[in-house]
Amino acid sequence: MAIDTAAPSPNLRPGGPPSVDLGPATALSCRECGTRFPLGPSFACLECFGPLEISYDFGSEGAEELRKRIEAGPASIWRYVPLLPVPADVATKPNLNPGWTPLVKADNLGRELGFTGQLHIKDDSGNPTHSFKDRVVACAIEAARVFGYTTLSCSSTGNLAGAVGAAAARAGFRSCVFIPHDLEQGKVVMAGVYGGELVGIEGNYDDVNRFCSELIGDPAGEGWGFVNVNLRPYYGEGSKTLAYEICEQLGWRLPEQIVIPVASGSQLTKIDKGLQELIKLGLVEDRPYRIFGAQAEGCSPVSAAYKAGHDVIRPVKPDTIAKSLAIGNPADGPYVLDIARRTGGAVEDVTDEEVVAAIRLLARTEGIFAETAGGVTVGVLRKLVETGQLDPSKETVAINTGDGLKTLDAVSEAGMTAVIRPTLDAFRGAGLASA
Ligand SMILES: *Cc1c(COP(=O)(O)O)cnc(C)c1O
């Protein structure tokens, strides 16, 4: 079955059938005007500059067979190889095998937030470099191999730089990645330790991204695959695996509500794409689901547009502790608005104080230590319930996209309860003894 989330167009560009082997991927198509292009390292439509996405031919395999094939696959994103733009033998190549992370029944948190329906946390902090970015890089690197790149690069708010550095090290690519110079130490060390080049740019993420766009067109960046720029269509598809895993872990069922953090908006947009594919392929029963976006108040261009009823995103200068979400000019922001509105969801934001409180709440109730982005998601989840925007009687999934060890400063007050001499008297004196 051919599935195309963009408007269909008979206008397949010359160049013949794709000569590249990226599994079921057949073409790039413009999300805005539907014009199709052969698979290649391009990201913007030559007709209208709209973003390109991947179209597929998923074949005619029945839903039951496909489900069985997936269930028999590896405990990583590669169980979904039939639905991804990667060669069929991808799991045999050197890569970090990310994904298949736990879907945690969050009964304690649910109770605190007033849920009567089941609440789950999709905990992606256990990926190889401790964020969901390993999923997107794993897909982008296959496209980089096919298109013959030897250096991997990216503009990053921190986690992507680490994911690219690690994946490049394993797969034998050179890497040179770019981050704002003032990131958290955990992110900087995590990105630098794998031995690639790590360049701090004096500016914020939007400056880093603009710089990378210039580098792509310059001989200085010749032959480089920028996972989130010229390989962006392939990169984005990695986020679909979050949708696939959540539904499979629920017993091949759609959740009723999903809360997703928003930086560029790629992850949220592609989770929706993944859910739509599962419905069209008959892998899950079609029923309504609502998608909610989460931002930090200090960088909330999408939430602001949502609340104002605008379709256009006004860029902002980020100022928040949630640095992994600090993108002031989000490329996929308008699509996040569309999806939130179409599914009956919302986009909401919380203050940095609420982010910290939510990190501690999630840790205290479920034993999950999230980075600031996870604090944004759980903080927004709480606010959505309190303001009646999200229905706590419905099955809900919130995604924790990163590990708290990378953003220790955010919760530095969570230190020792007492410091004492090593004697029982001292311990009794601290008021902690059971009797
Ligand atoms: C990159 C990132 C996101 C969101 O990314 P998008 O650009 O919206 O796809 C969310 N959480 C963490 C921890 C991230 O690193």
Q: Residue 396's closest CA among 258, 299, 262?
A: 258
DSSP lists the bridge partners of residue 72 as none
Contacts of 193 by beta carbon, 8 Å cutoff, 6+ apart: 165
422: its two tokens = 């090593």
Backbone angles phi, psi at 328, to 5 degrees: -80, -20
The model scores a pTM over 0.75 = yes
CA dist., res. 169 & res. 291, Å (int): 35
Query: If one looks up domain 133-235 in CATH, what number appears?
Result: 3.40.50.1100
Fill in the DSSP letter of residue 343. Answer: T
Q: Residue 320's closest CA among 182, 124, 133?
A: 182
Say how many Å lie between the CA of residue 404 and the centre of ligand 1: 14
Report the pLDDT value the prediction gives residue 3, as an integer from 0 to 100: 52
Coil/strand/helix, residue 419: coil
CA dist., res. 170 & res. 97, Å (int): 11
Determine the topology of domain 103-128+239-411 in CATH.
Answer: Rossmann fold (3.40.50)
∠130-136-137 over CA atoms, to 5°?
Answer: 80
∠23-72-81 over CA atoms, to 5°?
Answer: 15
Neighbouring C-beta atoms of residue 362, cutoff 10 Å: 28
- CA of 262, closest atom in ligand 1: 8
Coil/strand/helix, residue 360: helix
For the chain, count helices (H), then strands (E). Answer: 14, 14
Q: What are the boundaries of each domain within the chain? A: 103-128+239-411, 133-235
CA dist., res. 269 & res. 261, Å (int): 11
As for ligand 1, residues whose beta carbon falls within 6 Å of it are 131, 133, 159, 261-267, 324-325, 371, 373, 401-402
Report the pLDDT value the prediction gives residue 414, as an integer from 0 to 100: 87
Q: How far is CA 2 from CA 6, 21, 32, 59, in A?
A: 12, 17, 19, 7
186: its two tokens = 């955990």
Of 242, 267, 295, 359, the residue with max ligand 1 atoms within 8 A of its CB, to mutate for a pocket test, comes to: 267
103-128+239-411 and 133-235: identical CATH topology: yes
User: What string of pLDDT tens digits covers the 435 residues of the chain?
Assistant: 555 444 333 334 444 444 789 999 999 999 999 999 999 999 999 999 999 999 999 999 999 999 999 999 999 999 999 999 999 999 999 999 999 999 999 999 999 999 999 999 999 999 999 999 999 999 999 999 999 999 999 999 999 999 999 999 999 999 999 999 999 999 999 999 999 999 999 999 999 999 999 999 899 998 999 999 999 999 999 999 999 999 999 999 999 999 999 999 999 999 999 999 999 999 999 999 999 999 999 999 999 999 999 999 999 999 999 999 999 999 999 999 999 999 999 999 999 999 999 999 999 999 999 999 999 999 999 999 999 999 999 999 999 999 999 999 999 988 899 999 999 999 999 999 887
Contact 254, 272 (CB under 8 A): no
